[in-house]
Structure 1
Amino acid sequence: MKELIVRGISGLLYISIVITSMFVSYELFIFLFLLLSVITLSEFLKLVHLKSYIAYILLLAAFYFLSYEVFDKNAVNLYIIISLFVNLFLLKDLLWTSKIPMFEKKKYITVFFYLISGFIFLTLIPFQKEKFVPELIGGIFVLIWTNDSFAYLVGKNFGKKKLLERISPKKTVEGFLGGLLGSIAFSFIVFNYTELLTLQLWIAIALFVSVFGTIGDLIQSKFKRQAGVKDSGTLMPGHGGLYDRLDSIIYCSPFIYALLEIIDYVSPGGI
């Protein structure tokens, strides 16, 4: 019970800070997620046993040139394509290899096209038609938190069939389905509250959040298993490190960004 209370208080504080930053100003939003990305990167570098100042330089450069001041849209398009391929390779390694090769080799590829790109596209998502729309990224975070919460509650109380036991013994099929149904249900609420996207698109985002968010969580679990640690850090009591809290959104944000870009290209102004 005590662990649940600590976890709840820690989670509420985190949610309050994130939501507040979104609606105060774009600059505060960017600054907060730059700060979160620096902390998450430091946790990730320890996890993969990489000591590097270059990784932080890459992070700052990516934030400035690809997010805060987009110097070339084509560069962003190239970045999303490579990032999606790297993420899909991580999925392949999750399912069909005993160890993720990028954990031991090509670590900078993982750093730049998986971890850093997750934050970059997370900060690019709320930009629609050159305008910052905090309700959009706020709605996506609500779906992420809903998915995590329902998956945890359903899995803890009703979970029996393991989802991928060799990677994450506590994750269950029932928990995954609970998170999926919970996020879809909340997509109706987000749609009615924001009136930004079509209901069909919010449902699609809920599916992406649940499926790719769960994959991101499992990939992080496999990284931790290879590193031989339980949590990526200790910053958030009851949750572990920031990487433990953000692993889902880091992995799924490039897919959500790509979805929104494709829909906008196919049906301009129709999202």
Structure 2
Amino acid sequence: MKTFFTRTATALVFVAVMLGGILYSPFTFFLLFFLINFFALQEYFKLIRHIDPDYANISAWHKTGLLVASCALIMAFTGEHFSSSANLSLGFLGWWMTVIFLLIMPIGEILLSKDFQLKNMGYSALGLAYITLSLGLLIHLCLNYKTIQFTETATGTGPGWLIPLLLIAFIWINDTMAYIVGSLIGRTPFAPAISPKKTIEGTVGGMILAIAAAGVYGHFWGEQYLALQHWLVLAGIAAVFGTAGDLIESKLKRMAGVKDSGSIMPGHGGFMDRFDSLLLAAPFAWLYVHFFAMI
């Protein structure tokens, strides 16, 4: 019973923080995912150290430089959105910091590390692509893609947070419905070596219901912002790539021999545990919006 109340309280706080950060202003949206990136990346480093103990030998310069480069890259995705009176934007500053640290970090690692190994640079680069690039594209989606392909009856642009919020909602619906359907009628294991509790019936059921929910939203409310078929595709992306993202993180945790990526959220694990689906779905959603849903 104590565990149930702990999980419930944590979930309520989590939802409140997420909604507040996403909806309050563009800057709080950026700040929310800036912090998620910072902590999720550190959890990723911890998993890699469990998988390959050699990664624990990277220099302090490597660790610090990588975190700075990651934070700078997140800033870079804001573009010209946040600018000072001197016309110095957060995005411009972020791009220059990213370039500088990504250029000098390998040099410092080679010179300062007692046991330099090229594979450790690869692990770090993978972390930037897997976590920082994904969340940066989500921020870019919010701040820069307000003009999208509207229906003939649309009267104006939608809020920047709309697609990211709905993408997260579709992922949540897919995960929840997959669990419920799998518990009721699931019989056939989907990926027993990675996630023994996932079933084909639950996975397919979750995807169908997530797309159905997108259809209902698109038909009754969403068409004033985005054509119905786009909402259906975005839900499909959330379901398919969200499920793949969940399996990828489960595989990493199995390789590392840990149950959760972290313990920041009692009863729910760490940041990677909460955002594993979004980390893979966000880049594909960005690609779809960029190439198919923009005017």
TM-score normalised by L of structure 1: 0.80
- Partner of 1:198 in structure 2? 227
- Give matches, 1:1-271, under 5 Å: 3-49=3-49, 50=55, 52-69=63-80, 70-71=91-92, 106-126=122-142, 127-129=144-146, 133-191=160-218, 192-194=220-222, 195-264=224-293, 268-269=294-295
Q: Distance in 1 between matches of 2:192 and 2:275?
A: 21
1:34-85 per-residue CA deviation (whole Å, 9 max, x = no partner) reads 11111111111101114522221121110122235455xxx9xxxxxxxxxx
Unmatched 5+ stretches in structure 1: 76-102
Q: Matched residue of 2:198: which SS?
A: strand
| Distance change in 2, residues 1:152/1:238 (3 Å) | farther
Q: Distance in 2 between matches of 1:185 and 1:5?
A: 31
Aligned length: 238
Is the CA contact 1:139–1:190 (under 8 Å) kept in the aligned structure 2?
Answer: no
| Distance change in 2, residues 1:159/1:7 (3 Å) | farther
| Distance change in 2, residues 1:129/1:24 (3 Å) | closer
Q: Distance in 2 between matches of 1:4 and 1:143?
A: 25
Superposed CA RMSD:
2.5
Q: Percent identity?
A: 32
Q: Distance in 2 between matches of 1:234 and 1:156?
A: 26
Question: Which is greater in Rg?
Answer: 2
- Partner of 1:84 in structure 2? none
- Partner of 1:94 in structure 2? none
* Of 183-192 and 56-65, the range deviating more from structure 2: 183-192
Is the CA contact 2:77–2:139 (under 8 Å) kept in the aligned structure 1?
Answer: no
1:183-242 per-residue CA deviation (whole Å, 9 max, x = no partner) reads 112102432334321111111111111110011011101111111101101122222111
* Of 212-221 and 151-160, the range deviating more from structure 2: 151-160
Q: Matched residue of 1:170: which SS?
A: strand
Unmatched 5+ stretches in structure 2: 50-54, 57-62, 81-90, 96-118, 148-156
* Of 149-158 and 2-11, the range deviating more from structure 2: 2-11
Is the CA contact 1:224–1:230 (under 8 Å) kept in the aligned structure 2?
Answer: yes
Q: Distance in 2 between matches of 1:252 and 1:153?
A: 22
* 1:5 Cα deviation after fit: 4.9
| Distance change in 2, residues 1:20/1:206 (3 Å) | same
Q: Distance in 1 between matches of 2:3 and 2:168?
A: 24
Q: Distance in 1 between matches of 2:234 and 2:5?
A: 30
Q: Distance in 1 between matches of 2:208 and 2:6?
A: 26
Q: Matched residue of 1:171: which SS?
A: strand
Q: Distance in 2 between matches of 1:68 and 1:48?
A: 31
1:99-151 per-residue CA deviation (whole Å, 9 max, x = no partner) reads xxxx9772022111111111111111223247861222211111111111111
Letter in 2 for 1:122: L
* 1:178 Cα deviation after fit: 2.0
Is the CA contact 2:189–2:198 (under 8 Å) kept in the aligned structure 1?
Answer: yes
